Amino acid sequence: MELKNIMKYSVLAGGKRFRPILTYTVASLYDSEITKVDSSACAIELIHIYSLIHDDLPAMDDDDIRHSQPANHKVFGEAQAILAGDGLQALAFSIISSDPLVDADIKIKLINLLSISSYAMAEGQSIDLSVVSKKVDLNILKQMHQKKTGALLNCCIKFGAILNHASEADLSILDFFANHIGLAYQIQDDVLDVTTSDKVLGKRQNSDSIKNKPSYPSIIGLDESIKTYENLYQSSLDELPKLSVQSESLRSLTKRLMNRAF
């Protein structure tokens, strides 16, 4: 089978598409031409999918189900899954660099941010692998989450602003917003891993505890974890009125995230 079909297997499998939706939502605050956002939104999702393919490998998290179907390596083998992830990562940068609708100076900013965020994501996964079966404090867990999950969320939020030449003040506000929802999103994932069924999650329930991976619920308990991520979401919402543009659509999306079931 051709590599592109192995890549498509995971890209078209479904999922929340939350990251590109964030990019589109932030861009819409500035009345952006939507076609200028397409390449950035696609690139973000391709980087995310590549990370999931690699995370599921036996050498990483060793998961066999993703988006309610067999993980990529279970269908095509580990070597082809690695190549599919490599291909998606390269394709993400190619899509942005070849977009005729985006100015060259903006492309450089987008590609720079995406590369920094992708590296941070890899760092987060490295920390994740290093703490299996170990007792860690919340500072280590927070650092891991902010890199593994938060970095790419920060990137997709800032993409929408950079595409529209947003001010440094707005970028700073969105940075605060992104850092808070990035951590909230991952703590919420830790909670859902415990409380939600395989069928709803689209992957194995209790996968963290089965693998002896530290999580917020395992350290501070379920109720305190829920309070923590709810407070983080609320802090991010409290920051939005400071933007120079109306932010109701981003506020609405954030509230939907707070109440997600998977």
What are the backbone angles phi and psi of residue 39, rounded to the nearest 5°?
Answer: -65, -40
Q: Give the start-to-end residue ranges of the domains of the chain.
A: 3-254
pTM, whole model, 2 decimals? 0.91
pLDDT band at 70 (very low <50, low <70, confident <90, very high): very high
**Mean pLDDT confidence for 123-135:** 91
pLDDT of residue 205: 59
pLDDT at 26 over 70: yes
Contact 3, 87 (CB under 8 A): yes
The b-or-e profile of 3-42 (16+ CB within 10 A means b, else e) is eeebbebbbebebeebbbbbbbbbbbbbebeeebbbbbbb
pLDDT band at 133 (very low <50, low <70, confident <90, very high): confident
pLDDT at 158 over 80: yes
pLDDT at 209 over 70: no
Please give the share of the chain, as a percent, with pLDDT higher than 90: 84
pLDDT at 105 over 80: yes
CATH number of 3-254, picked from 1.10.10.60, 3.30.70.141, 1.10.1740.10, 1.10.600.10: 1.10.600.10
Residue 157: closest CA among 41, 22, 251 = 22
Please give the share of the chain, as a percent, with pLDDT higher than 70: 96
pLDDT greater at residue 14 or residue 172? 172
**Mean pLDDT confidence for 191-196:** 89
For residues 229, 233, 234, 236, the Cα torsion angle rounded to the nearest 10 degrees is: 140
**Mean pLDDT confidence for 242-246:** 96
Which of 37-41, 138-142, 203-207 shows the highest mean pLDDT?
Answer: 37-41
Average pLDDT of every residue of the chain: 93
pLDDT at 69 over 80: yes
pLDDT at 237 over 80: yes
pLDDT at 240 over 70: yes
